[in-house]
Chain A
C-alpha cells in the first residue's frame, strides 16, 4: 500500500480513530490529538505495517492503543502531567443550549462511569458499543484472546450498567 492509498484509508477512518484515541487518553483531547498525529506519522513512514490479518480499522486501533500507552509512559517520565494540571485553567465559554447541556451531561456521566472500570473492561466496552466492533475484533485491537475479551466484556458491562443505574437513581 503506497502513501497516497494509506492516506485515503486513514482519512476514511479518521473520525473513528479520534474517538478511540480519546478513549485511550481518558478523554484528554490534546493528548488524543498528539497520539493520533504520532500514529499517522508512524503508519505513513512505514514504521507500523498493516499485515492484513484483521480489518485496517481494527489494526489501526491496536496501533493507537499501543501508542497512547507509550505516550502516557513518556509523559509520566517527563513530569508533563504536573505541567498539564498547572495549565488546565480554561477560559470562560458561552453557555451551550439546554439540549447540548443534557447530552453533554449524559456523556459526562458515561465517561465518569467508564473511568471507574478496569482498563480492559473500559476498552472492550468502548470498542463494542462506541465503535460497533465485534468482541473478537475488539480482542484483536486490544491484543488479547477472544475468551479474555468476552470475560472483560461481560464483567465490564454489568459493572457499567450498575454504575450508570446508580447515577440515574441519585
Chain B
C-alpha cells in the first residue's frame, strides 16, 4: 500500500509541528552564536600573542649570538705588537747571518773596508 500527496503533506506537517515546538528562539540562537564567536576569537588571539613573543625572544637570542666581539680600545692590534725583550735578540753581525753569501767572496770583505772605500 502506498501513500498519496495529501498523506505525505500531513505527515510532514506533523513533523514540522513537533520540531517547531522544541526550536530555540531567534534571540537565543543569535546570542549563542555571538558568544561562541567571542570565545573563538579569544582562543585565536592567544596563540598569535604567544607566537609573537616567542619570535621576539628567538630574534633577540640570534642577534646576541651573531654580533661580532668588539676589540678593546686599550689593547694593541696583534700585528703591531712587539715584545719588550725583542732588543735583546739583536746581536752584532746579525745582518751578515741574514744575508745570502756569494761564491768567491770572503766574509772579511764585508767586514773590512777596501782601500778605495777608505780613500773616498
Q: Are A and B subunits of one complex?
A: yes
B16 in complex: contacting residue of A19, A37, A164, CB < 8 Å = A19
CB distance from A25 to the nearest CB of B (A): 12
- For chain A residues 22-46, which have a beta carbon within 8 Å of chain B? 22, 29, 33, 36-38, 40-41
A7 & B30 in contact (Cβ 8 Å cutoff): yes
A interface SS class: helix
A157 at the binding interface (Cβ < 8 Å)? yes
Chain B residues, Cβ within 8 Å of A106: 11, 14-15
Given A168-B1, A169-B1: A37 in contact with B19 (beta carbons within 8 A): no
CB distance from A138 to the nearest CB of B (A): 13
Give Cα distance in the complex from A110 to B14, angstroms: 10
Residues of A contacting B2 in the complex (Cβ-Cβ under 8 angstroms): 158, 161-162, 164-165
Interface residues of A in 114-170 (CB under 8 A from B): 125-126, 129-130, 157-158, 160-162, 164-165, 168-169
A133 to chain B, nearest CB (A): 12
Q: Which of A18, A19, A104, A165 contacts B1 (CB 8 A)?
A: A165
**With contact pairs A130-B15, A162-B2 given, residues A33 and B32 touching in the complex (Cβ less than 8 Å):** yes
Residues of chain A within 8 A (CB-CB) of B3 are 160-161, 164-165, 168
Contact of B37 among A7, A18, A41, A126 (CB under 8 A): A41
Would you call B36 and A37 a contact (CB within 8 A)? Answer: yes
Closest residue of chain B to A13 (Cβ to Cβ) is B26
Does B22 touch A at the CB level, under 8 Å? yes
Indicate if A53 sits at the interface (CB-CB under 8 A).
no
B29 contact from A19, A33, A161, A165, Cβ within 8 A:
A33
Residues from chain B with Cβ under 8 Å of A165 in the complex: 1-3
Q: CA of A112 to CA of B59 in the docked complex: distance in angstroms?
A: 60
A residues near B, CB below 8 A? 7, 10-11, 14-15, 18-19, 22, 29, 33, 36-38, 40-41, 103-104, 106-107, 109-111, 125-126, 129-130, 157-158, 160-162, 164-165, 168-169
Task: List 18 A-B residue pairs with CB atoms under 8 Å apart, sorted by A's residue number.
Answer: A15-B20, A18-B19, A19-B23, A33-B24, A36-B33, A37-B36, A40-B30, A103-B17, A106-B15, A110-B12, A129-B9, A157-B5, A157-B8, A160-B3, A160-B8, A161-B4, A164-B3, A168-B1
Contact surface of B with A, Cβ cutoff 8 Å = 1-5, 7-9, 11-12, 14-20, 22-26, 29-30, 32-34, 36-37
